[in-house]
Amino acid sequence: MVADRSTLDEIKKQLDKHIGARVRLKTNGGRKKTIIKEGLLEKTYPSIFIVVLDGQGATRRVSYSYSDILTDTVELTVMEGNKKIQCLQ
């Protein structure tokens, strides 16, 4: 599957609707490891999006590209309370 610009733009538009929302990130940690983190979707840019992770002490931000969602490198779930409302995969 070849990702064209419109597919990546559609993913960005979906994320734009949820800026400030709580999200769960499920990423591939390599060697059959899956890493799950939670945080807030802070901002979207033309090629990447930023998530502020929950943590103790210092604020930690991570960025991913929209192609990471498209290629299933990252699974992003938008949460409402403890309920999943949308999964971008």
Percent of the chain having pLDDT more than 90? 52
CA distance 80 to 65: 23
Q: What is the pLDDT of residue 71?
A: 86
pTM value?
0.82
CATH 2.30.30.100 fits 5-88, yes or no: yes
CA distance 27 to 17: 22
Contact by Cβ (8 Å): 14, 70: no
Contact by Cβ (8 Å): 51, 61: yes
Residues 45-67 have pLDDT tens digits of 999 999 999 877 778 999 999 99
Residues 11-27 have pLDDT tens digits of 999 999 999 999 999 99
